[in-house]
Amino acid sequence: MTLRQSSDMKKFKECLKTAKEIVILSGAGISAESGIPTFRGAGGYWRKYQAASLASPEAFRNNPSLVWEFYHYRREVAAKAEPNAGHKAVANFEAKTSSSKKVTVITQNVDGLHARAGTKSLIELHGNLFKTRCTKCKEVLVNTDTPICEALTNRGAPDSTVVGSDIPIKSLPHCKKGTCGGLLRPHIVWFGESLDPDVLNKAEAAMSTCDLCLVVGTSSVVYPAAMFAPQAAQRGAIVAEFNLEPTPTTSEFHYYFEGPCGKTLPVALNI
């Protein structure tokens, strides 16, 4: 590194003031402060299921009813959550510097909290809980209905004594486009699936030209997003990490600020 890793906030803010293209790369940590479960690590369970085991094409093929109960629960939690001070600081910074800086937020989160906080230039790498995709015609639509279908009313509680799901497939969400009638699925990038090429291209384009990158609330272990910040640092961009604890890539970055994003970001982005 050309610069020794630092926690000098004043020095970081000087870099922020002179930067022209800024990318804010966010992960589960910022939304955890709004009460969104991370579903990673030891606590990543819903009922008796490891969350990752329900977030796959195979799980949906084998038991779409169970998968929809899980995602109904996630939608309900996200709908009730509120953007926290970290989300708001990002949105306020983008709005305040719109005439002098290009700010892009790339998020691995699917909860929609960045948009609800007011962020405009937003790339959602892994999709959105409040979008559906038809398994037949592939149409993607925004859907904020609560519940998304009548059969999911009072379903999805994370009660470990509940086993399986008995909702008939015909009662699950289905496409209403013309005569399609295809089964809908959450518009989420599941394990074993590739990111949407257009979304990935937009993210890579923003990362390739930014002169400053903020890594916010992400452990930087999920690919391809895990490559973004290290590659930016290698080509000379300044990278600052904001996390509760150091990550495997912390030593590769110029700045590291420890603590909740809801406390560190409002200070860092107030210029």
CATH of the domain at 219: 3.40.50.1220
Considering the domain architecture, whether residues 137 and 22 belong to the same structural domain is answered as no
Considering the domain architecture, whether residues 137 and 212 belong to the same structural domain is answered as no
Q: One of 72, 87, 114, 126 is an active-site residue; which one?
A: 126
pTM score? 0.94
Considering the domain architecture, whether residues 90 and 76 belong to the same structural domain is answered as no
Of the three residues 137, 165, 188, the one that is the final residue of a domain is: 188
Considering the domain architecture, whether residues 8 and 116 belong to the same structural domain is answered as yes
CA angle centred on 35, ends 221 and 148, rounded to 5°: 95
pLDDT of residue 4: 54
> What letter represents residue 246's amino acid?
P
Give me the chain's average pLDDT, please: 94
Please check if 128 is assigned to a binding site: no
Considering the domain architecture, whether residues 200 and 229 belong to the same structural domain is answered as yes
Considering the domain architecture, whether residues 21 and 49 belong to the same structural domain is answered as no
Write out the two tokens for 65: 């009813």
Which parts of 54-158 are beta strand (E)?
A: 102-107, 122-124, 127-134, 140-142
185 contact partners, CB below 8 Å, separation of at least 6:
60, 64, 67, 132, 133, 134, 135
For the segment 170-186, the average pLDDT, to the nearest whole number, is 97
Q: pLDDT digit string (tens) for 232-269?
A: 999 999 999 999 998 888 888 999 999 999 999 999 99
Write out the two tokens for 72: 């109904």
Tally Cβ neighbours within 10 Å of residue 178: 8
Instruction: Provide the number of structural domains found in the chain.
Output: 2
Considering the domain architecture, whether residues 222 and 248 belong to the same structural domain is answered as yes
Considering the domain architecture, whether residues 61 and 16 belong to the same structural domain is answered as no
- Identify the CATH number of the domain in which residue 133 sits: 3.30.1600.10
Q: Look up 87 and say whether it is catalytic.
A: no
Radius of gyration for the alpha carbons in the chain, expressed in angstroms and rounded: 20
Considering the domain architecture, whether residues 72 and 140 belong to the same structural domain is answered as yes
Considering the domain architecture, whether residues 90 and 223 belong to the same structural domain is answered as yes
**Which residue range forms the structural domain that includes residue 16?**
1-35+83-125+195-270
Please check if 44 is assigned to a binding site: yes
Nearest to 185 by CA among 229, 132, 231, 138: 132
Write out the two tokens for 213: 């990158």
Of the three residues 168, 188, 208, the one that is the final residue of a domain is: 188
Considering the domain architecture, whether residues 70 and 98 belong to the same structural domain is answered as no
Q: pLDDT digit string (tens) for 16-42?
A: 999 999 999 999 999 999 999 887 755
237: left (phi over 0), alpha (psi -120 to 50) or beta: beta
246 contact partners, CB below 8 Å, separation of at least 6:
256, 258
Considering the domain architecture, whether residues 209 and 246 belong to the same structural domain is answered as yes
Residue 148's Cβ-count burial label (10 Å; 0-12, 13-18, 19+) is: buried
Write out the two tokens for 166: 């008995």
Please check if 261 is assigned to a binding site: yes
Please check if 45 is assigned to a binding site: yes
Please check if 38 is assigned to a binding site: yes
Q: pLDDT digit string (tens) for 140-156?
A: 999 999 999 999 999 99
Of the three residues 188, 210, 234, the one that is the final residue of a domain is: 188
Q: Is the peptide bond preceding residue 147 cis, with omega within 30 degrees of 0?
A: yes
Please check if 67 is assigned to a binding site: no
